[in-house]
Structure 1
Amino acid sequence: MTSESFQLFTDRLSDRLREPLPGRYAQELMAPRPISESRFKENPAQPARPGGVMVLLYPKDGDIYLPLMKRPVYEGAHSGQVSFPGGKVEKQDKNLVDTALRETHEEIGVLPHDIQVIGQLSELFIIASNFKVFPTVGILKNEPDFIPDEREVDRVLLPNLSHLKDSNNRGMKTMKFPPYTINSPYFDVEGEIVWGATAMILSELIHIVEDLGS
């Protein structure tokens, strides 16, 4: 992919993100089954905490890549899972874009001023941790040197859009969280199962990219 073709992609994606987004329709394609309203709506009695994540796209070897991170094992709802760089809002953040930029720097070492923010995807409520996540879409002109934080990142995964769009790299897995059993669609990325909110955000991204055509 030439710099000119990547710039064209960036411009078209930026324009598309200003239009109505597919939102829940695209998210549900990779949502755990059974699907219920509680998965998408927060409890007014326990308002969800806001958080920001970064969907960071960059060109390499004729394709477009993005970083995901596998979390280390810890006592928490998302232990050992694959996510986007991101986290909860801190006092110093002016807005949720700032949150995504700050967390991306802290977790994988990409400097905020190197990222061109071009828009956002649809917000997504995460029932397991009571978070409402706002995905920011950012662009890098070149592949960065990722510097993963040793405490927060077990490994960085680098799928490209061609891999994610290929249905051969998707599957369905039965998962048990007593007393619940769910069947979850997932992306197979470098041997890791990418499911839940991360897969749902990726699903909307892919839906939008496919809308753009070739």
Structure 2
Amino acid sequence: MSPRQPQLTREQFVQRFSLHRQHQALRPSHSRLKLSAVLIPVVERADGLSLILTQRANQLRHHAGQISFPGGRYEDGDQHLLNTALRETEEEIGLPREQVEVLGQLRDYPTRFNFLIRPFVALVTPQQPLRAQAGEVAEIFEVPLAAVLHQDNHYAYRIPLYIYDRVYFIPWQQRNIWGATAGILRELADHVQPEQRLNFRPLN
């Protein structure tokens, strides 16, 4: 971790998330895409803020084995995409909505698989061990928030793909965060630390 990128405290993270304006960009309309939502769960530990992530089960038909946020597709009974994120989070990792403090949301994130993901950023206070949903989630794990939000730790492969001009990869120990998860984390990093927006390591 770079010395010029100190680890944010809970108060600093909340302040930066709340005060900075989101970067605007032209994106596809909602009508052509299937709605979904994810939770970006941030938990305060003794050594700093951590991000809770999941690894999808290997037997899943789509995105098997990939690292993701808890979340999923909007259902009619949800009424609001926030309810989608909270419902899916409780189902996938056993975190009740009463232990989730939503700070706000990032821009809707369209994918090349015709989904529109709405990411909700939240501080969470688990009161019990988290529980992986059988058949859907292979593992629940945490990474230091500062490590995945530090733009110098982001790798970018430039490619004309859908509406994006690059794909991000964020390595952490033996894992590789990529795809929509890395893209959303990149947008959170740029939102919280806009002074570092241009930092990444090109792969081509």
Q: TM-score, normalised by structure 1?
A: 0.73
Deviation, structure 1 residue 86: 0.3
Runs of at least 4 residues off by over 6 Å: none
Match of 2:117 in 1: 133
Preserved CA contact (<8 Å) 2:149 2:188: no
Greater relative CO (CA pairs within 8 A, separation 6+): 1
Task: Determine the C-alpha separation between the residues in 1 that align with 2:92 and 2:108.
Answer: 21
1:20 partner amino acid: R
Q: Equivalent residue for 1:67?
A: 52
Secondary structure at the aligned position of 1:164 is classed as helix
5 Å-filtered alignment, 1:83-102, equals 83-102=68-87
Distance 2:22 2:45 in 1: 27
Give the aligned partner of residue 21 of structure 1.
22
- Asked if the contact 2:99–2:126 (Cα under 8 Å) also holds between the matched residues in 1, the reply is no
Gaps in structure 2 of 5+ consecutive residues: 1-8, 159-164, 197-204
Change in CA separation of 1:165 and 1:132 when aligned onto 2, cut-off 3 Å: closer
How many residues get paired? 183
Q: Which amino acid in the other structure matches residue 154 of structure 1?
A: A
Q: CA RMSD in A?
A: 3.0
Q: 2: CA distance between counterparts of 1:23 and 1:158?
A: 30
- The answer to which structure has the higher strand fraction is 2
CA contact (8 A) 1:60 1:142 kept: no
Confirm or deny: 8 A CA contact 1:42 1:127 kept in the other structure.
no
Q: Secondary structure at the match of 1:201?
A: helix
Check if 1:146 corresponds to 2:130: yes
Map 1:28-39; keep pairs closer than 5 Å: none
Deviations 1:125-160 (A, max 9, x none): 1112x1100001111246862111121101113111
The AA in structure 1 aligned to 2:192 is V
Q: Which letter does structure 1 place at the counterpart of 2:176?
A: I
- The structure-2 alpha-carbon separation of the partners of 1:140 and 1:166, relative to structure 1 and needing over 3 Å to count, comes to same
Asked whether the 8 Å contact 2:154–2:170 carries over to 1, the reply is yes
1:81 deviation in Å? 1.0
The letter for the 1-side match of 2:142 is L
- Deviations 1:102-123, CA, capped at 9 Å, x for gaps: 1000001111011011100111
Whole-angstrom CA distance in 2 between matches of 1:43 and 1:123? 9
Structure-2 residue corresponding to 1:178:
none
Match of 1:41 among 28, 47, 57: 28
- For residues 103-114 of structure 1, what are the structure 2 equivalents within 5 Å? 103-114=88-99
Aligned to 1:185: 168
Fraction of identical pairs, as percent: 26
Do the aligned residues in 2 keep the contact of 1:126 with 1:132 (CA within 8 Å)?
yes
Aligned residue type for 1:112: R
Matches of 1:159 and 1:60 in 2, distance apart? 11
Match of 1:51 in 2: 36
User: What does residue 107 of structure 2 align with?
Assistant: 122
CA distance in 2, matches of 1:100, 1:13: 23
Q: TM-score, normalised by structure 2?
A: 0.76
Gaps of 5+ in 1: 25-36, 175-181
